Structure 1
Amino acid sequence: MKNFTLVATGDLLVHASVIRQAKADSGGESYDFRRMIRAAAPIVAQADLAICHMETVYGATQGPFTGYPTFKTPPQLASAVKDIGYDSCSTASNHTLDAGPEGVVRTLDAMDKAGLKHAGSARSAAESVRPTIMEAGGAKVAHLAYAYGTNGIPVPKGKPWLVNLIDPARIIKDARAARRAGADVVVVSVHWGTEWQQAPDKLQLSLAKKLTASKDGGRRDIDLIIGTHAHIPQAYEKVNGTWVVYGMGDQIAGVMPDKRGQMGSAARFTFTPPSAPGRAWQVKKAEYIPHAVDNDPITLVNLPRALRKSPGNPGYTSALSTIQEAVLSRGGKKDGLSMGR
């Protein structure tokens, strides 16, 4: 066994402007999302495991494709994410049912075809109880995912497995099932929080406490919590000794009503093997990597790297400061959180 690194990034929120950009980047013949998110590639390449958040569901191969408020994204996004180097994506969000059961099926079929694992939605009851498990550093890593709701769209009767909704007892039960299936590390993605609010809300705080306090036989049930949804950077902090990322912001999106919607972070955690048989893997190093989204053309920007090339760029400097303020707002620095690049 050896150390391994896990990288997680925020919402892939495919607004209509992002769809138009992908079409332009393909030369007008298809949809190519790779250039827009290429700045994530070096971070992902250095990681042993990389997790994204697939905020939207896919339309049929030939469309039609739509942005806000009910999304149908070109399925070419799956292969682009895989080409960048991602291993798995959370698919539980408030938009999971935007295109009904068919949208869930299309999305997961396309991700399977691209070789991209997924967690948070399912095509059948049997699929919903199989934990997504990957391997890194000799460890088996389970990825589970849940969302707070579906924008008022009812979950079809008899098909609760289409999307995993937040229920603390269910999450703990699933984490323990993943342990029984062989997982050494359990990572939980949660789509939660209040949009445009930097501070974690009551649900985030209470759920983080419940999940990180849960143990079975003296061993914690969950090793890492990574959050999405708020559209803006939120804090990283240790809760009951376990790292919680309340929100990473959007990785890619169209122009937002608040400039913070163009800012976010990637989370990187280095795990070290157990000190003795039967003990847990531990986070040895916790990092955040600030990023921004330029709008013309829509492009993800790694801020530390961009500022090395263009020192003093006022837009990038301001974004970096805003992200740092949010990420460190709950004392993560004292627990060893540092900025990576």
Structure 2
Amino acid sequence: MEQAKGKYLGIEIGGTKIQLCVTDSDYNLLECLNFLVGDSKQNSIILEGLRSRIATLVSKYPIESVGVGFGGPVNQKTGEIYQSFHVQGWDSINLKAWVEDLTNIPTFVDNDANIAALGEATLGAGAKYNRVFYITLGSGVGGGFVIDGDLYHGADPTECEIGHVRLSKTEGDIVESSCSGWALNKKLEAYIANDPSSILNKLTRTNKTDCSKNLMEAIAAGDTGAKKVLDDTIDDLAFGLSHVIHLVNPEIIVIGGGLSNLGTYLTSTLQAFLPNYLMATMKDKLPLIQTTKLKEMAVPYGAVVHASKSIQRTNHTK
């Protein structure tokens, strides 16, 4: 096969879904494969699924480099996994070496929130800005910071862990424990248990879905209790993000993950609450706050950007 350059493979390894996408040098999507992790949550199943799909894509496209966004802390220099918060068996595995042994293609691994930040900063909502902070509000809460097109990395082992920023001195009282998708759903379940006559409870019983999926409809129908639960959660998020603004003052904050589906309600309420926690000179100069443009493709697209930038940097230093 003619070894034409400029095709990149991006891989997302999460706790629920695995995605593999190939793009050209302009980041046009050529093909995307995905599969579910399954209930067993074992890394051996993920590796086997990756093995066959990577082989398929590598045989079809002249891949120049591979980028991987992994759901947990990683050593981005060596590719070693420190921990997965969702799947057993990943600790101390060198994912970079595993992919390179399989493909003989240079591979670059980073945390999935970092990778999503790079995707949004390059191809998404933050593409016009030089200082982009990304936060994902899903089953967990993670963050990444991009400066002039490059990811910020702190000292080993990790950085930008906005989900672990404390909301008080109490252990466990962190942004993730209040503002993640599961945390909001838990609060809403407690609310409808205490108020069975609430609009949210009636919608949840009628639609037979999680209460969080009926939240905005309930609020629109006048459920003030449900609105207070959501607003209190957004207020906690504003307090957490105020620390980010005081420390690095990004031009834009991009919100991804499942709770980004709250859309303009989330962003406008955040903008209303944030000044309560900022120093006087910053109150009238808030960062732009937007929800993700790339949505569920933020990590795969970020991974191909990471693959492209990393191989170019590697080649330049040779």
TM-score with structure 1 length normalisation?
0.30
TM-score with structure 2 length normalisation?
0.32
Higher strand residue share? 1
Structure of greater relative contact order (alpha carbons < 8 Å, 6+ residues apart): 2
Higher helix residue share? 2
